[in-house]
Amino acid sequence: MTMQIPTDLRYSSDHEWAKASGDVVRIGITDYAQDALGDVVFVELPKVGSSVSAGGTLGEVESTKSVSEIYAPVSGTVSAVNDALASSPESVNTDPYGAGWICEITTSDSGDYDGLLDAAGYQTLTNN
């Protein structure tokens, strides 16, 4: 199966994706990550209003195989979470770049986003 790597997103080396809209960045885990995890059964979301640092732990994704931490690709304040994941965590598997988004962070430093990998860079990372 070919992994989806949308070209309009940025990526972390920890397999999170990020999409900026002004100073708000929507975060999720990549198609590659959800495939490696297997069937997602639970997503621990961050609290709205909590401060996060780029590279810091944001939450966890629990699958039938393992529990993996979700890392913040940018620093800032959590401004929204995807509450729908409480009742449908499998959205992370079926639609990782859409309905399976994790949270939104209002960034304090746009340089964090600019420092993330583009689609080509992420493609190179996942092919090794």
Indicate the domain borders of the chain.
Answer: 10-110
pLDDT in tens, 40-53: 999 999 999 999 99
pLDDT in tens, 1-50: 578 999 999 999 999 999 999 999 999 999 999 999 999 999 999 999 99
- Whole-model pTM? 0.94
Tell which CATH classification among 2.40.50.100, 1.10.10.10, 3.40.50.970, 3.40.50.2300 matches the domain 10-110. Answer: 2.40.50.100
* All residues at 6 or more sequence positions from 103 whose CB lies less than 8 Å from its CB, including other chains: 26, 27, 45, 46, 58, 59, 78, 80, 81, 82
pLDDT in tens, 54-87: 999 999 999 999 999 999 999 999 999 999 999 9
Helix or strand holding residue 42 (H, E): strand 40-44
